[in-house]
Amino acid sequence: MRAPAGLRLDYLSAAEYRAAQGADVLGIASFSGPTTQVAPGGGEIPVAAVSMPQLLGSPEVYEVWRSGEPVESGRRERVRFRRSVDLLFGCIALAESEVDGGRAAQGHSALQTVTDQAYREICATLDAVGYPHLLRVWNYLPDINRDSQGTERYRLFNQARHEALRACGRALNGNVAAASALGAASGSPLVVYFLASPTAPTFIENPRQVSAYSYPREYGSHAPVFSRATLLRQRDRVLLFISGTASIVGHRSIHVGDTAAQTRETLANIAALLGEANRVESAARFSLRSLAFKAYLRRPGDLPAIRAQLERALESDSRVIYLQADICRQDLLVEIEATGMCPLKIDA
């Protein structure tokens, strides 16, 4: 049976995916490491393989994005993508080990080099195929908190992303995609996957937080380039993409060392974003219990505390996956992102 039109997100085991696969799959992110062929015909589907272990349930999980509509596959340079009329899923993976020493000798690290290349190829692909508006971007880079050339690698990533987007004529504040940046396993490639549209989304900020692109220089020479959330109307529904969110109020980390309190503060920030989304898009009503969540834990041993807070706030059947990952700030123990699809209220 054909799925109803409109974007859909599922978290599935490999067996569940094989049982439920359909021709409308836009793309897949796999978690646990280099992926195998996940299904017949999977060679046409872009798969972002992230080296990041799942902490609960199946050791291998697939994040499956469906369109409910016919799709076509394509490739431009090293970007693989699949698109429907309204949406495009794409991914790229670049290994730092493949960078020659020439660029590094000019003051650029291997991470900066592959970040620059990835974002330039993504922007060129989207412009070439007519889906110029980035909605949501996921960035997974190894050793995110390690120092390199006297600077934390996350800050080097932010600098390279900033410079690549500027070179491509992209906005650096305000109208920028929702995004996450997490630390994957050492030795893994930089993996970036994304959703894009021919239509510009609405960009949402959190009244409890300083916008990430306006962070003071104490967090690095180049601020992170992302909005706290984006909204996109899609015929009879509204899509909500909430960026990686943590225990930050204003621009400062709070509840340092307290995992349960950080989780509660993170959920308060997500609730504030839902309030803003519902204010901006009055025809939709998002709630915490209507979202699909991805929770990143710095320490696997914190799973019971974080899970207890989420289960207290959500329905028992809410879609949540738990992954072990380093967070962009070393004093943060948990980061949570969310996605929602809400039917529009259509007056008779």
Catalytic sites, residue numbers: 335
Q: Answer for the pair 157, 224: CB distance below 8 angstroms, yes or no.
A: no
Judge residue 218's burial from the number of C-beta atoms within 10 Å of its C-beta, 0-12 exposed, 13-18 middle, 19 or more buried: exposed
Contact 53, 31 (CB under 8 A): yes
Q: How far from the centroid of its chain's Cα atoms is residue 328's Cα? A: 13
| Phi and psi angles of residue 79, each rounded to the nearest 5 degrees, phi first | -90, 125
CA distance 259 to 255: 8
Beta-carbon contacts of residue 316 (< 8 Å; ≥ 6 apart): none
CA angle 149, 154, 159 (to 5 degrees): 80
Q: How far apart are CA 251 and CA 212, in angstroms?
A: 8
